[in-house]
Structure 1
Amino acid sequence: MPADLAVIGLGHLGLPLAQAAVTAGIDTVGYDPDPRAYAELRAGRTPVEGVLTASEVRRMLSGGVRPTTDAAELGRVRTAVICSPVPLGPDRTLDLTALGDAARALAARLRPHTTVLLESAVPPGTTETFLRPLLEEGSGLVAGRDFHLACSPGRLDPGNRTRTLANTPKVIGGLTPACTESAAAFYGRLTDKVVRARGTREAEMTKVLETNFRHVNIALVNEMAVLCHDLGVDLWDVIRCAETKPFGFQPFRPGPGVGGHGVPVDPGCLPYNSRTPGHPLRMVSLAQEINDRMPSYVIQRCATLLNEHGKSVRGARVLLLGVTYKPDTADQEAAPAREIAARLMDMGAQIGYHDPHVLDWRVRERPVPRADSLYEAAAAADLTVLLQQHRTYDLQGLAVKAQLLLDTRGATPAGAAHRL
């Protein structure tokens, strides 16, 4: 059955896009080669925690989204949006394997006049020098002449109910002006504001700048957290004061590490041969190094607190609160909790956890005991570590119940706990 839209990749980008499209009355096919994702959706469940609730998935399906693993469906659409995952590989460059697979599946069925859009976060040049050749070679069509090609990197914030696709401006850069306008016509049906970039590379680089801006500023406050602790300065009060400045300052807050789907990208280190010329972004590399050190720093603070109270990490009962990468969502993408738990286990600690959004949690494929009663578990633990500040946590009450509480988010009242 023909459709207006194919969403390729039903993950943290594709699912909200499919939901927004069907809400706007766009006949939508959701393609994902993973049979597990297909089975979960057909059963009315979300294949990716923290993106859509089960009720939202069911409404999306009843609204007309048709999930499929059949790539033949891609040849019957007017618009195809690629939302394939682009994770970090072992060498810390972005792995374009899934993107390449999606491009080849689409190319074999691509028809003239189709609009192809890329939402995956990629280094600059990917749309033109990686995606375009795959589409052209597989279809025999020419981008910009026979079909439209554009990049519009995803900007969704998982778990944010205020900022949705509809009220978040969409940046679009096409291979040609006509490609940009075709993409703008599509996204104009979904969002209040479309921002036209000069081309695909400018659109891709916009995402790079946004993501690196976050990581560099988090690295700055993470370094400040370590310095302020050493100097006996309350960083959280410093931030409270600094954010009153009405210009030239944007507050960021430290934490036990940096999670999320947007990984820092150095465009001088591209994962394919036709790399964009340029110099490595040294500040981004340094920021990543700083942020990667934060789990170790949290472990160090845990050991110090236990020692100061006459206890060793070995044999200590440690309760971790909040194992997701951001508050009030089940999304665990790159959350530092798993690394912190693994290192504490290596040191002989007995680990338990509590998270209202995660009912089953594993570290190194081993299940971690989940606390049923939060207050009882905090009272029984030698050390409780707040890794994520979920709205349901009564931090003042926890501070009273816990024997020792390390707050890595600065969420407890001043003096109620040991803060990062």
Structure 2
Amino acid sequence: MDEMAATFIGRIERREAVVAIIGLGYVGLPLLLAFHNSGFRTAGFDIDPDKIERLHAGRSYIHHIAGERIAALVGSGRCQLTTDYSRLSDVDAILICVPTPLTAYRDPDMSFVTATAESIAPHLRPGQLVTLESTTYPMTSEDLLAAILERGSGLKAGQDFAIAYSPEREDPGNPDFDTATIPKVVGADCVPAGDMAEALYATVSQQVVRVPSMRTAEAVKLTENVFRAVNIALVNELKVIFDRMGIDVFAVIDAAKTKPFGFMPFYPGPGIGGHCIPVDPFYLTWKAREFGIHTRFIELAGEINSGMPQWVVGRLVDALSDRLGKPIRGARILVVGLAYKKNVDDVRESPSLVLIEMLQERGAVVDYYDPFVPVMRRTRKHGELEGRVSIQWDEETLALYDAALIATDHDGIDLETLVRAVPLVVDSRGATRSLSPELQARVVRA
């Protein structure tokens, strides 16, 4: 194993190694670009032929990744883009970046990881490094991934090939951090494998954080997102409490964060979305049951956060009645923002989708506006919304609606025009706080 590690690290240092990324989504595509820009020959794999076709044409399907970067990747001659997993035998490192969603019962759905491992195994050869980046429960890499690879290849992890875990930490749309500047956590099944993974990631990350084991690295990712989920639930609960007391929760948070120690600001909203916070904590909840532990904090946080769309819709229904004398049935409602957070085109687990369905179930006529999502793509849970089109943003169109619900606080949206044009605006993000007192008086916070 030591000799294998030395050979691998030498190829990394000389930029002779070929780095393969499996899963070219919001995590995998930036990682592929990072290794390509670091001078490696790369290979990108995805089961979706449409993605491969668009990349070959030099087009990006992720808003914050410019098409020029894709064109440079394709035009360099140093990157293969394919759906053919047999080409994995030609690479040195295989990085797995596939989805790990939840089932309908909030159990881990490991089907993508399992299918990927089974596709890799027949083409695995001695000397390769396999790294899982997908968020998962502790012991996945050793109990699931390694077992499938060994069974399908006839090789032995830690002897013939190396295996490691390095959780993705991408934050789409964040202008302050990218793949290079976000520290990379790495854990492996043995010291030589850890050395190999550390050498690999050090070429694209300014800081590699080595942890004692793969299960430690898996737990790091879950801990980060459990922390966020619990604290978001806390401020969502405070929002409801303070609303009853006539207190602006955003004013409270703004004042509290001036304390230079002991406080970290989190902000309430209409629910939580994205590929991490609504999902990852329940991977730990599921695994904890195997050890006879009930994760009360995590499950309570999930209950509070998943209940926020109901609370927001209730505020909208009440405001329609109190301010306009209108019932929700038949009302024309505009949901402003479809993405799960500001300035991205990612709608995975977005509370906006839940809000639209809840309003429609109550008889409202619902449209949406989102400059980042001109057409609604297919999602696993909300397929009936596929093909919906964002409205045109102008005063004449806005005036057609009885109410607007701000669900995502994208920068650049003309909120003043919105508040003047629509009789009722319900703001679930605190987005209108910068407007004049006159206009804020026309807004209902939710």
Range of TM-score over shorter length: over 0.9
1:337 paired with 2:352, answer yes
The answer on 1:264 being equivalent to 2:273 is: no
- Which among 255, 273, 278 is matched to residue 269 of structure 2? 255
Find the aligned partners of 2:355 and 2:89 in 1 and give their Cα distance: 46
Superposition deviation, residue 148 in structure 1: 1.1
* Amino acid of the structure 1 residue aligned with 2:286: C
Counterpart position of 1:95: 109
* Structure-1 separation of matches of 2:316 and 2:71: 43
1:77 aligns with one of 91, 110, 120: 91
> 2:100 pairs with 76, 86, 92, which one?
86
Cα shift at 1:251: 0.5
Post-superposition Cα deviations, 1:346-397, rounded to whole Å, max 9, x if no partner, equal 1111112111111113762464453213433333311011111111113234
Measure how far apart 1:29 and its partner are.
0.5
2:424 aligns with 404
Structure 1 counterpart of 2:374, one-letter code: L
Amino acid of the structure 2 residue aligned with 1:213: F
| C-alpha spacing 1:58/1:278, structure 2 compared with 1 (3 Å) | farther
Is 1:310 aligned with 2:313? Answer: no
- What is the CA–CA distance in structure 2 between the aligned matches of 1:162 and 1:208, rounded to whole Å? 23
**Structure 1 residues 120 and 51 mapped into 2: Cα distance closer, same or farther (>3 Å)?**
farther
d(CA) in 2 for partners of 1:394, 1:377? 14
- Secondary structure of 2:227's match? helix
Percent of matched pairs sharing the same residue: 38
Match of 2:151 in 1: 137
- What is the aligned partner in structure 2 of residue 206 from structure 1? 220
* Alignment of 1:192 onto 2:213: no
Does the 8 Å contact 1:5/1:80 carry over to 2? yes
After superposition, give the CA deviation of every residue in 1:170-203 in whole Å (9 maximum; x if it has no partner). 0000101111111000000001000001100100
Aligned residues: 415
How much does 1:51 deviate?
5.5
Aligned partner of residue 307 in structure 2, secondary structure: helix
Tell me whether 277-286 or 297-306 shows the greater mean CA deviation.
277-286
Given the superposition, is the C-alpha separation of residues 365 and 406 from structure 1 closer, same or farther in structure 2, using an over 3 Å criterion? closer
Is the Cα contact below 8 Å between 2:108 and 2:286 reproduced in 1?
no
SS in 1 for 2:432: coil
C-alpha change, 1:366 and 1:34, in structure 2 (3 Å) is closer
- Residues 374 and 389 of structure 2 are in contact (CA less than 8 Å); yes or no, is this contact kept in structure 1? no
Q: Name the structure 1 match of 2:67.
A: 54
Name which of 8, 11, 24 aligns with 1:10: 24
Worse overlay, 152-161 or 398-407: 398-407
| AA in 2 matched with 1:320 | V
Q: What is the correspondence of 1:235-384 to structure 2 with a 5 Å cutoff?
A: 235-262=249-276, 263-266=279-282, 267-270=284-287, 277-308=291-322, 309-361=324-376, 364-365=384-385, 367-368=387-388, 370-384=390-404
Secondary structure of the residue aligned to 1:390 is: coil
Query: Is the 1:18–1:30 contact (alpha carbons within 8 Å) kept by the matching residues of 2?
Result: yes
> In 1, Cα distance between the equivalents of 2:144 and 2:247?
49
Alpha carbons 1:396, 1:413 under 8 Å: kept = no
Give 2:177's aligned amino acid: R
Hey, what's the Cα distance between the residues in 2 that align with 1:261 and 1:56?
24
Q: Which has the higher helix share?
A: 2
- CA distance in structure 2 between the partners assigned to 1:34 and 1:372 by the alignment: 31
- Correspondence for 2:35: 21
2:52 to 26, 29, 38: 38
Letter of the 2:73 partner, please give it. Answer: M
CA gap 1:34/1:369 in 2 versus in 1, 3 angstroms: closer
Of 341-350 and 127-136, deviating more is 341-350
Aligned residues of 2:45 and 2:83 also touching (Cα < 8 A):
yes
Aligned residues of 1:93 and 1:270 also touching (Cα < 8 A): no
Contact preservation (8 Å) 2:136, 2:280: no
SS of 2:194's equivalent in the other structure is: helix
Q: TM-score, normalised by structure 2?
A: 0.89
